[in-house]
Structure 1
Amino acid sequence: MTQAEGAATFRSATDMYGRFVGRYAPSLSAALIDTVGVDPDNRVLDVGCGPGGLATALAEIVGQENVAAVDPSPPFVSVCRARLPAADVRVAAAEELPFPDGFFDGAFAQLVVNFMTDPVRGVGEMKRVVKPGGSVAACTWDYRDGMTMLRAFWDAAREVAPGESEQFDEENMRYAALDELTGLWETVDLEEVEGGELSVTVEYEDFDDLWAPFPTGIGPAGAFCASLEPERQQALRAALSRVLGDPEGPFELSARAWYVVGRA
């Protein structure tokens, strides 16, 4: 699966996105903002905003009027605009940000960099629109180990369809390791580059609550699930439940993301 194909898998029902990785947005946004730092008088940009999880968290600090957000998906932009009517929310790609040089105090990209068509250009654009000395920050899941929900899914997929799942498995994503992220920031000549891990925990009502988004085709994991015939979807469902310990009733999962921040 190419990066563009991976990005396209998120352009489905926005409510299912909220039940999928979107449910991690509040805690992950808070962790990223706390790590990077945002002042109440800042003007900030959310690149690849989706339905507005990070943009909403930023608005709680700086006010909606000081938040701009972009996403290439019109449905996501519509949802983000509805959530933040006073923010400047536009349909745009990271590689062509519709803002002047040095316009923002900070630019953020949450769970987006590895889906950019051209990450060097995309992060370079983030740098361009930030004032000298301002923050350029991002985070991506640790797909290879620390994002429990997705790692469990792909481990289950390898049981059910070992050959077919390989091309979808997100452990092969670019920038899924800290050194890759910091290397990208250094490539675009950002200064004072540093990175580390962010750890969050989310709650599920039950296993059905976790499973529901997968058959809808959202994300690379959902696209793989939706590609299977019904019998193998059920086999995958059973395998995923086993990998997670056959949870009954409410349960929690942890997730680790890598963050990077540099100065423009």
Structure 2
Amino acid sequence: MSFEVAAEAYDRFMGRFSAPLSPRLCDLAGLGAGSGRRALDVGCGPGQLTVELVRRLGADHVVAVDPSAPFVAAARDRLPGVDVRQAPGEALPFDDGTVDAALAQLVVSFFRDPVGGLREMARVTRPGGVVAVSTWDLAGDRAPHSSFWRVLRRLHPDVDDESGMPGAGDGRLPALLDEAGLGEVAQHELHVTRDFDGFDDWWGTYQLGVGPPGDAVRRLDDAARTQLREACRAELGDGPLTIAAVAWAATGTVAG
């Protein structure tokens, strides 16, 4: 999976969509400004959600982890004072009950063991605390990159388009939280919209090698890549683009 990329590449490809999700996930976790609570950002990437947590809680009340060394380095540079560690979600380097809330934005689908990762998030959260997670609605064809996958499926029907990834559909996140032992599980639907200057601005983000779409483009030869680009152009047009996307979010409470 291509997340060993420059932070700037992630920012351009997905950060512009994940940034507006961050306040909403914090709200769902009950993390109001000045609440004095301590929060963990799991799979923090370059720090889009971490920035919002720091804005609300202060750097000394936020910890974060990510398995990608470039992302950890970027988050540390951007957020001095935050304890950012390199670690996978399934093996969090914190003691039991360390935080009041554990959040994972657009990450659960990429856990090697989603239920195990959620159990780890619950372990490091105090009893009565909240675990809050989100994923794009890839199964519902409403993710930021759904138009890309839709065109690629027409050209290459056997492509893995992420729609079967854990959590990436209606009801899937709550089922994972239930299996992980969380209580009071609830599902939420979050909407975001982002603008692009034109097709080339949009297409350029898929050349950055980020995530499964970046992997898919990299595997194509030059002719197939050109074919995909022009098929996407025919689908989206050349003018300024507005891309709407939907994320599923779910929250659960840690048992006392």
Q: Same-fold call, TM > 0.5?
A: yes
> Pick from 92, 104, 109: which aligns with 1:109?
104
**CA positional deviation for 1:240:** 1.3
Distance in 2, Cα, partners of 1:83 & 1:105: 23
Residue in 1 that maps onto 2:18: 25
Q: Unaligned 5+ residue runs, structure 2?
A: none
Amino acid at match of 1:101: D
Counting matched residue pairs gives 252
Tell me, in whole angstroms, the C-alpha distance in 2 between the residues paired with 1:88 and 1:172. Answer: 33
Matched residues in 2 for 1:212 and 1:195: separation? 33
Per the TM alignment, residue 251 of structure 1 is displaced from its structure 2 partner at its CA by 2.5
Alpha-carbon separation, structure 2, partners of 1:192 and 1:159: 41
Alignment match, 1:61 = 56
Determine if contact 1:178/1:259 at 8 Å carries over to the other structure: no
2:221 matched to 1:226?
Answer: no
**SS of the counterpart of 1:211?**
helix
Q: Within the alignment, does 1:263 sit opposite 2:253 as a pair?
A: yes
The DSSP-based 3-state class of the residue aligned with 1:162 is coil
Give 3-state SS (helix, strand or coil) of 1:149's partner: coil
2:243 & 2:233 partners in 1: Cα distance?
Answer: 13
Secondary structure at the aligned position of 1:238 is classed as helix
Distance (Å, rounded) in 2 between the aligned partners of 1:247 and 1:196 = 34
Is 1:199 aligned to 2:191, yes or no? Answer: yes
> Could you say what secondary structure the match of 1:60 adopts?
helix
Q: 1:82 aligns with which of 77, 82, 88?
A: 77
Q: TM-score, with normalisation over the residues of structure 2? A: 0.94
> Aligned partners of 2:141 and 2:27: how far apart in 1?
20
Q: Out of 131, 137, 146, which is 1:136 matched to?
A: 131
Query: 2:137 touches 2:143 (CA, 8 Å); kept in 1?
Result: no
Q: Provide the rounded CA distance (Å) in 2 between the counterparts of 1:159 and 1:98.
A: 43
TM-superposed CA distance for 1:148, in Å, is 4.6
Equivalent residue letter for 1:67: V
Q: What is the rounded CA distance, in whole Å, between the counterparts of 1:192 and 1:142 in structure 2?
A: 22
- Does structure 2 conserve the Cα–Cα contact (< 8 Å) formed by 1:107 and 1:135? yes
Say which is worse superposed, 97-106 or 207-216, in terms of deviation.
207-216
Asked if the contact 2:44/2:50 (under 8 Å) is kept, the reply is: yes
- Post-superposition shift, 1:12? 1.7
SS of 2:145 mapped into structure 1: helix
Quick check: 2:101–2:125 contact (8 Å CA) kept in 1? Answer: yes
Deviation track 1:186-244 (CA, whole Å, cap 9, x = no partner) reads 11211111012001111212211111132332111111111111121111111112222
| Greater helix content | 1
CA distance in 2, matches of 1:137, 1:69: 14
Q: Percent identity?
A: 42
How much does 1:146 deviate? Answer: 4.7
Q: Confirm or deny that 1:16 pairs with 2:6.
A: no
Query: Which runs of structure 1 show a deviation greater than 4 angstroms over 4 or more consecutive aligned residues?
Result: none
Structure 2 equivalent of residue 50 of structure 1: 45
Matched residue, 2:165: 173
Deviation at 1:136, TM superposition (A): 0.4
The answer as to whether partners of 1:148 and 1:253 remain within 8 angstroms in 2 is: no
Inter-partner Cα distance in structure 1 for 2:120 and 2:142: 28
The amino acid that maps onto 1:9 is S
